[in-house]
Every structure is written in structure tokens, then in C-alpha cells.
Structure 1
Amino acid sequence: MTPNLPDSQRQIIYAKRPQGVPTVDCFRLIDVPVARPGPGKVLVRNDVLSVDPYIRMRMEEKDSYAPVMAIGDVLVGRTVGQVLESHADGFAEGDWVVGRLGWQDYSVAGPGELQKIDVSLAPQTAYLGALGSTGITAWVGLMAFGKPKAGETVLVSAASGAVGSVVGQIAKLKGCRAVGIAGGASKCALVKDAYGFDDCVDYKSPDFADALARAVPDGVDVYFDNVGGPILDAVLPLLNNFARIPLCGLVSQYNETEPYRVKNLREIFNRRVTMRGFVLSDHRDLWPEATRELIAAYAGGHLKYRETIAEGLENAPQAFIDMLAGANVGKQLVRLRRA
């Protein structure tokens, strides 16, 4: 029996499908008994939760690349936490682990659901961001589908975000010119000063299209797209022949009730562009190489990251809503606390 383990824990469950922008009543905080691990399982205390844009797609009525959540399900989400009790080979009490364990204080999981992490190399929260699936997403999209070459221009939307910021830093390490797109002067300053991009354009500025063209005088060879929508339309005429577009996300569209119709789609044909949507779980064979490069870059001081941390599981829904609106800087996390 694990000492000092409470009888109950908090969970946030999916309460209502959103119509457009999610509201806090789409979520419900409940108390349930703490489950105990059986043979081959471990009990994890979840310390920090990551809230990510893909969760919004899981709230739809129809499946996308992943099954939708059912009303009453515990919200999906990746956590970092510590093993409190283990009945599984390879895991011991005190191990730090990452897993998709949901919006809850404690989780029972099997070894296949967990990844052990080394918190002596970096803070545990880094493994939810730049050194975890977020950083791996950036690496896989850029390296496997962007295929950057030294001297090329790599353009990144949502460049101040958790994925976009890593994309630009990898591009610089590969000898490319990195240009970001972000919302607001302060985020653009962060992209250039903290992450080392060569330039950044504010998509909220009234002369965005002209400013973007000035920022890429030699055109764009790789456009790493996190947002879709009108920004994609603005980028398409600036692409060079045989440019590549890794399509990582469409965050500008997740809350829309009517789909955006791309106006400049013809440019993809004219410029013989390759556009590829990708989902990280399809490319597990690339994770080890990506992880090695990311850890080496971090250890060498070449990979920076930022975090926005909300306090308390009860505040996770608002943190998620704010993240979708772009209120966060870097990775949006929630530090879990019991009342």
C-alpha cells in the first residue's frame, strides 16, 4: 500500500460538445476513487499536464485522424509525473515518466503507455515540450517533409508557439534562414531575440502581406504551417518552385463553424509545391533520431523554450481555451494541485 495516498482524486471529463469556441461548461470537474495498479501496471502521480490544440479536434462529432472523445470521457492529454507504486518490470517507485494519461491527478498505466525521462538532463516540463512530443513533431515535420537544405528560407507560422519555435531553431542549426509569423510585436520580438530567427512578421499588422513579402526577398523554400486559413493564402504566392509545406495543424480553423476556402490554391500547381499533412504517431520510427538531436541541441545551448503554466487542474479548461486564442507564450502547461 502506497503511504499517504488519498482515497479520491479529481478528473476533468468531457461534458458538452462545443459550437465554435469551447466554453468552460464543456468540461466538468469530478471526484472519483483512486484506482490501484494490478500486475504489470504502475500508479503515476501526474504533476504537470500539457493542453494542446489537437484536443479541440477530439471534441468534434466526427473522427479526424484520431477518434473523437465521448461525452463523459476523461479529457485526453499528455502528463509528466512520478511512479508511486509499480508492479511492472522496468519501472520503479520514484521514476519520472511521460504518458498520455489525461486530465486527472493519478493514473494507472502499463509500460507501453509510458516513457521514462531523465530529469537530471532537463526539467521534467521540458519533456512535455521541446524535448518531448512537441519537439519531435517539429523535427519530424521539418526534416522528414520539409527536407531543408543549407541556404534555403524556412518560414514558420505560429513561430512563438511550442512547435513553431523549435522548427525555426532546427532550421538555423541546419544552415537555413528562418523567418517566423506570430501575433503581436512582443511575440515577434521573442521569436527573434530568444529563439534566434532571422526575422518575424506580425500577422496582426495592417500591412501583413507586404511585410511578409519584404521578409522573404528570395522566396520561401519550406513553409511549416501550423495555422492554415488566410495566412496560408498569403504565403502561397511567395513560395519558390518545388517548395515544401509540412502541414502540422490548422489552429485558425478548429473553432470555425464554416470551413475556410483557400483562394490561392492554384499556386501549389504553378510552383509544383509538395504539401504534406502529417501526424506524429505515424512516424514512431523517427522518434529516436529526433530525440537524440533535440537533446544534443539542448545540451549544447542551441535549443531554447518558453512555458506558460497555469496552476491547478480546475484551471485547465480556461488554460485550454486561452491557448486556442493565442494567449500563451510557448508551451501551455497546467501544474496540478489538490485543493
Structure 2
Amino acid sequence: MAPSTTTTYTTKQWILASKPTGAPVLSGPDATFKLQTVTLPPLKDGQLLCKVRHFSNDTGLRNFIQSTVAPERFYVPTVPVGSPMRSGIIAEVLESASPSYKAGDLVMDFHLGTWSELVVLEAATSQKLAPLPKNLSLTHYLGAFGASGLAAYTGLKFAGGAKPGDTVVISAAAGATGSMAIQIAIHLLGAKRVVGIAGSDEKCAWVQDQLGAHACVNYKSPTFVEDLKAATPEEVDVYFDNVGGHVLDAMLTRVKKHGTIAVCGAVSGYNSDEPMALRNWFELISMRINIKGFIMLDYMDKAPGILQELIGAVADGRIKLQDAETMVEARIEEQPEVWMRLFSGKNQGKLITNLIV
């Protein structure tokens, strides 16, 4: 299809106005983000003009705007000041300059979408969305069948080396990645005992009753360390870490000799300007613990097979997605506030913005 050259489109769009040193600031002269109206360029060959339907809200986006890691060492390009804020999106094609897409198609982009009402995407890096079994919402492509599910699977199997008979512990177990990791460990990898760590008794009840964890420990409880020890009487083969901080510090005392920690994230420190303090760091030496950082992008060659396995596991009932999404209807003006809910634990499973106009 030939590019459109006759219509000009404008869109509201959030840009990064300043890099935060602690928690992002949502209002006032030092606000982290600024809403502006921009004119989109005409489509070029191979591009798509799309209307955004959903934003993927992920804690890792915090590192896109400011990180202790130097930009040249970061695993994807960061967001420069003055540039649009990025996130995964699901969008509807309005105009296509690619023979592979037509108006009305739904597409997803993992990381190159932006906080905008309208976006121009590259057809080559966009994914056309196919229907899911059991009439599941296509928004699961942003979570269970997207980066969250892929991170959970690859972190456990490849970085963590989880195998049948293992004891596995997963932090942020009620979040998008953790909730998938719990079920993957049990039903796909055959772990003998799977323990979740979450931020409330209610979340722990969901992790046990709905996701099937053998136990779940509330890290905000004053008896967290004692509860964790009681939940892991035979110690731990693989710890899947999403949070760092005092949870990681406690887990260092529970991992077996020659056990493995697969590090997916460190959300406890994303909005802090203080260094992470670990009193139990010497456990790594004493117990010869292996620690492996990873990102799911390392395993994209395996992604089609993994997604086929995950979708099949949902279709046959091994993995359940009931209550696995927190959907928030919001206008573009509210998107930064919706995203910030991640850092106060106001979501269960994947937090998704349903963009309304």
C-alpha cells in the first residue's frame, strides 16, 4: 500500500521532561513527564499509523528514564530528555504503508511504542495479534504471552536452571512476571515445592489459592524472616528475584550450597537514591551460590516455541489467567499516574491501561 501523503495527524504525547533521582515527580515545575501535542510525520514505506488501545505498565520502564547503569551499558536504548516516553502497546492500524498490514489490524510493539494517542510504528518490528484460546483478551499479549511470560519462563529454565524436584522461590509473586513464574515452575518445569513472596496477606492468598503455590510469605510482615525459613525447610534450589533489597538479603540465607539466584529485576530500589544494602552478601561465598542476571531478550530465538507452550498450557488448563490482569481505564492525561501504581503495589498480575478518548 502506498504511503498516505494527504492527511496530517496530531496527537497528545508524554515526553520525558527531566530525569528523576528518586521517585518520578508527577506535577509541578520539576515534573518528570510533560504532556504535549505533536504533529506526526507522513508515513514512509513500511510504516503504520496506529491508534493506541492499551499501554503495558512495567516497573522496568523506570530504568529507561534514569538508571545507575551507564546508557552505553544498558540493554536497550534509554529515553533521552525531550523524547517520548516508551512502553509496550497494543494498537489498531488506521493507515498502512506496508503490504503486511491493513486498516483494522491489531498490532503489538514490545518496547518501541510510546505514551501517545496515535503512533507511527515500523511494520518490521510490530507483531500482528492472532486470536487467543478460550476467548481470552488480546491484552494478555502484553503480559502472560508477552514480556512477562517470556521473562518468567526464560529466567526459571535457562538463567535459573530449574528442574523437576527443585524447591523454587519467586518474589513479587502476585505481579505480572511472578504470577506466571509460579505456575510455570509448578506445571511446566515440575518443581517439587514453589514458594511465593508478596506484599500482603490478600496477595499471598491469591498466590496460593489461585496460582497453586505451596506457600506464600508476606514480606511486609514483622515475622517475614521467620516465616520464610518455615516455608523453606529444605532450603532453596532456585530463587527468582524481582525485587532485590531486604527480600534478596533474606533469601541469601535460604539458598542451598551451589544453588542459583536468577535476577530479573530490583524494583525495591528503582525509586531510591540510596545504594542497596545487603548484610548477608558473604552467603554467596560461604554457600558457593550462583547468581545470574538475565533479560528475556537474550532468548528471543526461543520465544515462538515458548509462547506456543504457554498458550497451550492455558488452553488445557494447566496455567490459569483468572484475575491475572488489573485493567485501568484512563485518558492519556492520566497515564503517568496509572504507571506509578506499580510502585505502591496497587496491581495484581499485569497492570494495563485501557486508553480512552
TM above 0.5: yes
- Looking at structure 1, the residues matched to 180 and 202 of structure 2 have their Cα atoms a distance apart, in angstroms, of 18
- The yes-or-no answer on 1:104 pairing with 2:122 is no
1:318 aligned partner? 337
Question: Number of paired residues?
Answer: 336
Counterpart of 1:42 (choices 48, 58, 70) is 48
The Cα of 1:231 is off from its aligned counterpart by 0.6
1:246-261 to 2 correspondences below 5 Å: 246-261=262-277
Letter in 1 for 2:356: R
**TM-score normalised by L of structure 1:** 0.94
- Looking at structure 1, the residues matched to 201 and 287 of structure 2 have their Cα atoms a distance apart, in angstroms, of 32
- Looking at structure 2, the residues matched to 272 and 88 of structure 1 have their Cα atoms a distance apart, in angstroms, of 53
1:160-309 to 2 correspondences below 5 Å: 160-173=174-187, 174-176=189-191, 177-305=193-321, 306-309=324-327
**TM-score normalised by L of structure 2:** 0.90
- Looking at structure 2, the residues matched to 139 and 228 of structure 1 have their Cα atoms a distance apart, in angstroms, of 19
1:20-169 to 2 correspondences below 5 Å: 20-24=22-26, 25-60=31-66, 62-63=70-71, 64-99=74-109, 100-121=112-133, 122-169=136-183
Letter in 1 for 2:24: P
Counterpart of 1:17 (choices 16, 19, 25) is 19
The Cα of 1:282 is off from its aligned counterpart by 2.3
- Looking at structure 1, the residues matched to 149 and 124 of structure 2 have their Cα atoms a distance apart, in angstroms, of 21
Aligned residues of 2:40 and 2:120 also touching (Cα < 8 A):
no
Q: Deviations over 1:135-171 (max 9, x none)?
A: 1111111111112121211100000000001001001
Over the residues paired in the alignment, what is the CA RMSD in angstroms? 1.7
Aligned residues of 1:97 and 1:116 also touching (Cα < 8 A):
yes
- Looking at structure 1, the residues matched to 42 and 63 of structure 2 have their Cα atoms a distance apart, in angstroms, of 31
Letter in 1 for 2:47: K
**SS of corresponding position for 1:315:** helix
Letter in 1 for 2:91: G
Identity across the alignment (%): 37
Aligned residues of 2:157 and 2:163 also touching (Cα < 8 A):
no
Which runs of 5 or more residues in structure 2 are unaligned?
A: none
Which runs of 5 or more residues in structure 1 are unaligned?
A: none
**SS of corresponding position for 2:259:** strand
- Looking at structure 2, the residues matched to 139 and 19 of structure 1 have their Cα atoms a distance apart, in angstroms, of 32
- Looking at structure 2, the residues matched to 66 and 159 of structure 1 have their Cα atoms a distance apart, in angstroms, of 25
Q: Deviations over 1:17-72 (max 9, x none)?
A: 21311121211111222444222212121100012111111111642333332111
